[in-house]
Amino acid sequence: MGKTISCSVLLTLISCFSLQFATALDTITPSKSIKDPESIISQSGVFRLGFFSFANSSNHDGKLVVLNGKAEILWSSNVTNLVPNATTAQLLNSGNLVLNNGEDGGSSLWESFQDPSNAFIETM
């Protein structure tokens, strides 16, 4: 009986520990970044946003930049300037990528659904 309880407790602890690593990341923050070939996944698991590099590309500066239709920078990760900020990028269950001012979901700086012609969703 004692061995059965010990095995059950051990299995439960391992499961809980594994769950921490299996939980999908849906938000990029200054302290939780991703890189090629990693991705973020909406909480529902329906949408995934990832980074990739072309095989013959030499442009690997590590920056994430959001441009408007006039090629003006709306937001940039600005990796050369190490000024701390709390801007986050979150992939919502709707497929909308939202840039927020602050890790607590502060005011929205930009949303991919603001201009749907620039966001491709497979079911649209």
Question: How many domains, in total, are found in the chain?
Answer: 1
pLDDT in the model for residue 16: 44
Would you tell me how many other CB atoms lie within 10 Å of the CB of residue 113? 14
In a domain, residue 13? The reply is no
- The CA distance from 99 to 87, in Å, is 7
In a domain, residue 4? The reply is no
In a domain, residue 69? The reply is yes
For Cα atoms 90, 118, 29, give the angle at the middle one, nearest 5 degrees: 20
The domain that holds 80 is classified in CATH as: 2.90.10
| pTM of the predicted protein model | 0.56
Quick check: 112 and 90 in contact, CB under 8 A?
A: no
Read off the pLDDT of residues 21-60 as tens digits, 9 standing for 90 and up.
445 689 888 788 888 788 899 999 988 888 766 677 676 6
**pLDDT confidence of 89, banded at 50, 70, 90?**
confident
pLDDT in the model for residue 8: 55
Instruction: Write out the residue range of the structural domain in which residue 97 sits.
Output: 25-118
In a domain, residue 18? The reply is no
Please state, for a pLDDT cut of 90, what percent of the chain lies above it: 7
In a domain, residue 19? The reply is no
What is each CA distance from 109 to 12, 30, 74, 102, in whole angstroms?
Answer: 42, 16, 8, 10
